[in-house]
Homo-oligomer: A and B are copies of this chain.
Amino acid sequence: MNANTSFFGELLTSIADRGRALLDRGSRVSGATKAATLVERCEDLLSGKGEASGVALATDILDRYGRMKTGERIAFFEGLAEQFGPDRERLDKAIESYRRTGSDAATAELHAASEPRRQELFRRFNLAPGATLSLVRMRENLMDAMAHRRDLASVDRDFGHLFSSWFNRGFLVLRRIDWSTPASVLEKIIRYEAVHAIRDWNDLRARVDSPDRRCYAFFHPALVDEPLIFVEVALMTEPPAAIAPILDQQRAHLEPTKASTAVFYSISNCQRGLGGVSFGNFLIKQVVEEISREIPSLTTFVTLSPVPGFRAWLDAERKQDTSRALSAADREALKALDDPDWAQSEAVRADLIPALSAAAASYFLVAKTNKGKPVDPVARFHLGNGARLERINPMGDLSPKGIAQAAGLMVNYRYVLSDIEKNHEAFAGKGEVVASPAVRKLLRADPSPRALVPVP
A binding-site residues for B, Cβ under 8 Å = 1-11, 14, 48-49, 51-55, 81, 85-86, 91, 95, 98-99, 104-105, 107-108, 110-111, 114-116, 123, 126-128, 131-132, 151, 153-154, 157, 162, 164-166, 168-171, 173, 179-184, 186-187, 200-201, 205, 221-222, 225, 281-282, 285-286, 288-289, 292-293, 296-299, 384-386, 417-418, 420-421, 423-425, 428-429
Q: Chain B residues near A104 (CB, 8 Å)?
A: 81, 85, 151, 153-154
The reply to whether B225 and A180 form a contact with Cβ atoms under 8 Å apart is yes
Q: Chain B residues near A424 (CB, 8 Å)?
A: 48-49, 51-53
* Selected A-B contacts with CB under 8 Å, 17 pairs: A4-B296, A5-B292, A6-B292, A7-B289, A52-B386, A52-B425, A85-B104, A105-B153, A111-B114, A131-B170, A162-B165, A173-B221, A179-B187, A180-B183, A180-B225, A183-B201, A221-B222
CA distance A170 to B166 in the complex (A): 11
Q: Chain B's nearest CB lies how many Å from the CB of A59? A: 11
Chain B residue with minimal CB distance to A202?
A: B201
Q: Chain B's nearest CB lies how many Å from the CB of A202? A: 10
CA distance A221 to B220 in the complex (A): 9
Given contacts A1-B296, A81-B104, A105-B153, 12 further A-B contacts (CB under 8 A): A4-B296, A5-B292, A6-B292, A53-B421, A55-B285, A91-B107, A104-B153, A108-B157, A111-B115, A173-B221, A181-B182, A200-B201
The reply to whether A222 and B182 form a contact with Cβ atoms under 8 Å apart is no
The reply to whether A166 and B169 form a contact with Cβ atoms under 8 Å apart is no
CA distance A2 to B10 in the complex (A): 20
Chain B residue with minimal CB distance to A168?
A: B126
CA distance A104 to B423 in the complex (A): 38
Q: Chain B residues near A225 (CB, 8 Å)?
A: 180
CA distance A149 to B51 in the complex (A): 33
Q: Chain B's nearest CB lies how many Å from the CB of A148? A: 17
CA distance A168 to B127 in the complex (A): 8
Given contacts A2-B296, A165-B166, A225-B180, contact A52 B126 (CB under 8 A): no
The reply to whether B180 and A180 form a contact with Cβ atoms under 8 Å apart is no
Chain B residue with minimal CB distance to A425?
A: B48
CA distance A187 to B373 in the complex (A): 47
